[in-house]
Amino acid sequence: MRYANPTRGNDTRKPFGFKRNLLPIPADYYAAQGLKLTGGGEWKNAVCQFHKDTNPSLRVRLDTGGFRCMVCGAHGGDVLAYHRLITGLPFIRAAKDLGAWEEQP
């Protein structure tokens, strides 16, 4: 089978678009969002910003940026997913907002 775009699915060869390696480091991003991360281990705890939370219900991973709320169910796999959820921005706008989108030269 032949594809119209031979670089499809191969991020490293795309001249422009979403660049995952340009996403902010999860610890920096979540700190900038005002999350106070507590606890040891892979999953840190934070007060959830997606519902009226009093006890920290949000679990956040600092290696991947993944997050999941044990109360309201908000979840995603990286800081881009978090940014889209908190801002309501579509994928490309959110990626640009985070500096992880390279324009066509």
Which residues of this chain interact with Zn ion, rule CB under 5 A?
Answer: 48, 50-51, 69, 71-72, 74
Cα of first residue to Cα of last residue in the chain, in angstroms, is 30
Question: Rounded distance, CA 69 to CA 87, Å?
Answer: 17
CB nearer to Zn ion: pick between 74 and 100: 74
Least distance CB 98 / Zn ion (angstroms):
21
CB nearer to Zn ion: pick between 50 and 101: 50
Least distance CB 78 / Zn ion (angstroms):
18
Least distance CB 73 / Zn ion (angstroms):
7
Tokens at 64, concatenated: 């991947």
CB nearer to Zn ion: pick between 47 and 102: 47
CA neighbor of 104 nearest in space, from 17, 18, 12, 19 = 17
- Are 30 and 46 in contact by the 8 Å Cβ rule? The answer is yes
